[in-house]
Amino acid sequence: MMDGVLFTKGHGAGNDFVIVPDPDGALDLTPSQVAALCDRRFGIGADGVLRVVRTAKDSDGAGYAAEAEWFMDYRNADGSIAEMCGNGTRVFARYLVTHGLATPGPEGLPIATRAGVVVALFVGDEVRVRMAPPRVYAASTATTGPLTFPGVAVDCGNPHLVCALHDGLKLPSLDLSVSPGFDPALFPAGVNVEFVTPASPIEGADLHVDMRVYERGSGETMACGSGALAVGAVALRDAGLSQGVVAVDLPGGRLTVTHDENDAWWLAGPAVLVATGETDLDALTR
């Protein structure tokens, strides 16, 4: 008899997740179970897991119970916990509404994360989330092989290091099969590293960039929402713009970062559910 756990698979611009409903907080997902779910050969396969639990039923979510009914318990593919996942919040919002667990009000749909509450809006095919303001705070460097890249540290609730490519280097030439090197004194809990190059101007955006990312705990992913937010914040700062729209093109598609006239930061892009099923956690970890 299968010890079945229901799941849905979804993604935001190719940043993919196994979504596990656990409304009453009955499921104690271990790091090895998370890693097994995310394994692309022996499991379902994903960059991370989103456990869907009521704020009141989770020790990390309970503090937000007055503001949001649902808590996104995000785990990286290696089983580690992260504070924030921008694409995760967008896919989580899609899941709640599609599965009848929430109805967005006129102000949007609040979702609690370890880094605070974000609010999701549904606009056409996109899910747009209002994120906490990114904090650009220090210069640092990243390395890939023999190459060193100057970068800037950005706190989006989770840690980021945004590096511009230099000397005509092209994004596809980077080896992101292993973690870039970084300063562990500045990032004691690890860091997500974004590499950026300018792209040709496009209509509807003040700035347009291409980006690749190596995510802490997941490796190179096709997109990273909080990473795009960090990149957008640095791009606007470097362009001397106090507000504006930044189109960020990633291997999995486009995310849009907006800093609006009300000083709100928004992350927008596709959020798609692709499959639903049942899995046997015991079999996955056997």
Binding residues for ligand LBFN2T5F, rule: CB under 6 A, are 15, 48, 76, 82, 85-88, 158, 192, 215-218, 221, 224-226
Q: Which amino acid is at 106?
A: P
15 annotated binding-site participant = yes
To the question of whether residue 177 is assigned a binding role by annotation, the answer is no
Closer CB to ligand LBFN2T5F, 189 or 264, in the complex: 189
215 is in an annotated binding site: yes
The answer on whether 262 is annotated among ligand-binding residues is: no
Distance CA 205, CA 128 (A): 16
Burial (0-12, 13-18, 19+ Cβ within 10 Å), 186: middle
Q: Measured in whole angstroms, how far is the alpha carbon of residue 198 from the centre of its chain?
A: 22
Whichever of 218 and 258 has its CB closer to ligand LBFN2T5F, that residue is 218
Element (H, E) at 215: strand 207-215
Q: Give me the catalytic one of 38, 85, 156, 163.
A: 85
Least distance to ligand LBFN2T5F, CB of residue 15, Å: 5
Q: What are phi and psi of 272, to 5 degrees?
A: -130, 135
What are the residues whose beta carbons fall under 8 Å from the beta carbon of 61, sequence distance 6 or more? Answer: 53, 54, 55, 71, 73, 112
Shortest distance (Å) from residue 131 CB to ligand LBFN2T5F? 9
The nearer residue to ligand LBFN2T5F, 137 or 173, going by C-beta atoms, is 137
The position carrying tokens 């989580």 is 92
Active site residue 224: yes
Task: Tell whether residue 254 is among the known ligand binding residues.
Answer: no
State in angstroms the smallest separation of the CB of 255 from ligand LBFN2T5F.
Answer: 9
Residue 277 and residue 7 in contact, taking contact as beta carbons nearer than 8 Å: yes
Amino acid identity at 188? P
CB closer to ligand LBFN2T5F, 7 vs 92: 92
Burial of 177 from C-beta contacts in 10 A (0-12 / 13-18 / 19+): exposed
Q: How far is the CB of 166 from ligand LBFN2T5F (least distance, A)?
A: 25
Q: Which residues of 94-112 are buried (b: 16+ CB within 10 A; e: fewer)?
A: bbbbeeeebebeeebbbbb
Catalytic residue among 38, 156, 163, 224: 224
At closest approach, how far in Å is the CB of 178 from ligand LBFN2T5F?
Answer: 16
> Binding residue per annotation — 80?
no
Q: Can you say which residues are annotated as belonging to the binding site?
A: 15, 76, 86-87, 158, 192, 215-216, 225-226
Known binding-site residues for substrate equal: 15, 76, 86-87, 158, 192, 215-216, 225-226
Question: Which residues are part of the catalytic machinery?
Answer: 85, 224
